[in-house]
Amino acid sequence: MRVVVAVDDAAALVEGLQREGIDVIAHVAASTPALAAADGMLGADAEALLRALSDADALVVAVSRATMSPTVVALCDRAGTRVVPLVDDEAGRRLVAACGLEAPLERHAEPWRVAEVLSTGPAPAPHAAPRPQPRVIAVWGPAGAPGRSTVAAELAVELARGGRHVALIDADTQAPSLALTLGLADEGPGFAAACRQAELGGLDARELTRIAVPLGATGVDVLTGINRPSRWPELSDRRVAAALGACREWVDYTVVDVSSSLERDEEIMSDLDGPRRNAATLASLRAADLVVAVVAADPVGVARFLRGHAELRATIGATPVVVVANRLRPGTLGIDARGQVRRTLDRFGGVEHVWFVPQDPRSADAAILAARPIAEVAPKSPVTLAIRRFVGEAIVPAPTPQVPAGARERRPRRVRADAHGRVGAAAR
């Protein structure tokens, strides 16, 4: 068995493989296969790797965004070389799955374990778990900045807990802000690129993984919004619908931040086939399995929400809607702030259930300063805890424990006092 090892600081691994009878014909840096697969970037190490791959049976490589891509897989396929991936985290596992590689090993696996896999053939890919529902969640709110983007970002971070893969998409064509608030580069808007590829039929999990920006170690991949308002024609109805369809096969949950305007501008445009400014919002809402409607918990915010709620219902039809009252504080509503918001929405909008997120300016300011989600900067913030409860009870409810058949419910023991006031178990 002849192998090439593309792993940084892997002297112990190479020595261990040789003790197990594996012939290591080359040891290069983890990034060398990616450099060899890229045009015009050949160096001495890359040229040596290309020669070694033609003689090797397998390539053992540490997988990351910088070291693995479809071009690396294609390079190994042309050479007839098997790829044995090593990963550090869940992001690496997702990249392995996106590139169609075999089940990975841990980055620091014992050399005998790697040698065993090399000798026994490719490990079977893990069985795909059933996808959860709802898959696409659109976050909408009326004009006036009720906190749509903040709720969308915190919602995505909470959904990613437990190893779920979540995509956060900025589809706001009026005032996109996710890249700015989360400290992400927006020179190449990810969602616009995804929409273009979707129209050409080239958007799949590999391409989405390439153009998305990971949000730290949260398990959330972000497709940033347009960086100039004039680019809104790139987000057409057909493109957005196709891109969200591809996201369903890419991640477990897709959270889409949309703008407030729901008006259909066909009547005010002479070109009925031309692009629409609100096409991205309307297409996202129609494609969503669930709509999270955000209302600012103050008199003005509630009034604006009630005016837009009927139009929202006319747009999405029977799609479920859950209402989140954001930035709740007694200063603007007086006594029983929750009750006043709940009764007003029930009486004038027919909204029976409302979830509340309290105002926490200190944590919100710290998150803006650090350009990170509130859940990372202030894990015990009331905002974080409220969103966590909302996700756990309204979106991903915990399964109800089942009582085994034939098991009897255990009843509490009754107690009674004797003549001296001492407590003892009651006779059965």
Confidence of residue 50 (pLDDT cuts 50, 70, 90): confident
Interatomic CA distance for residues 246 and 200, integer angstroms:
13
Which residues contact residue 94 at a Cβ distance below 8 angstroms, ignoring those fewer than 6 apart?
Answer: 165, 209
Give the residue carrying structure tokens 């756990």. 392
pLDDT at 100: 78
Average model confidence (pLDDT) for the chain? 84
Confidence of residue 332 (pLDDT cuts 50, 70, 90): confident
* Dihedral of the alpha carbons of 310, 314, 316, 320, in degrees to the nearest 10: 50
Which residue type sits at 322? Answer: V
pLDDT in tens, 176-228: 999 999 999 877 788 999 999 998 888 988 899 989 999 988 889 999 999 88
Q: How would residue 26 be classed by pLDDT, with cut points 50, 70 and 90?
A: confident
**Token duo for residue 104:** 């990975």
Residue holding tokens 């609100």?
A: 278
Mean pLDDT value across residues 47-57: 79
- What local confidence, expressed as pLDDT, does residue 300 receive? 95
Asked if 233 and 199 touch (Cβ cutoff 8 Å), the reply is no
pLDDT tens-digit series, residues 281-312: 999 999 999 999 999 999 999 999 999 999 99
- Among all chains, which residue has been given the structure tokens 């450099």? 35
Q: Which of 7-16, 72-81, 150-159, 267-276 has the lowest mean pLDDT?
A: 267-276
- Write down the pLDDT at residue 130: 60
pLDDT at 425 exceeding the cut of 50: no
Q: Can you tell me the distance from the alpha carbon of 81 to that of 59, in angstroms, rounded to the nearest whole number?
A: 7
How many CA within 13 A on the CB side of residue 348? 13
What pLDDT is attached to residue 152? Answer: 97
Cβ neighbours of residue 168 closer than 8 Å, sequence gap 6 or more: 152, 153, 156, 178, 215, 220, 221, 222, 223, 255, 257
The pLDDT of residue 40 is 46
Going by C-alpha positions, the residue among 233, 291, 254, 23 that lies closest to residue 156 is 254
Give the number of residues written for the chain.
428
Asked if 322 contacts 150 with a C-beta cutoff of 8 angstroms, the reply is: no
At 428, the pLDDT band (50, 70, 90 cuts) reads: very low
What number is the average pLDDT over the span 416-424?
Answer: 52
pLDDT for position 427: 43
Mean pLDDT for 319-344 is 92
CA gap 131, 400 in Å, rounded: 19
Can you read off the two tokens belonging to residue 344?
Answer: 């007003």
Domains and CATH numbers, the chain: 2-120 (3.40.50.2300), 136-395 (3.40.50.300)
pLDDT tens sequence across 345-393: 999 999 999 999 999 999 999 999 999 999 999 999 999 999 999 999 9
Q: Say what the pLDDT of residue 327 is.
A: 94
Q: Which contacts qualify for 9-18: CB closer than 8 Å, 24 or more apart?
A: 12/111, 13/60, 13/111, 13/114, 15/111, 16/110, 16/111, 16/112, 16/114, 16/115, 17/111, 17/114, 17/115, 17/118
Alpha helices in 215-298 (DSSP H): 237-250, 279-287
Nearest-angstrom CA–CA distance, 213 and 178: 12
Name, in order, each residue with C-beta under 8 angstroms of 102's C-beta and a sequence gap of 6 or more: 83, 84, 85, 96, 122, 123, 124, 125
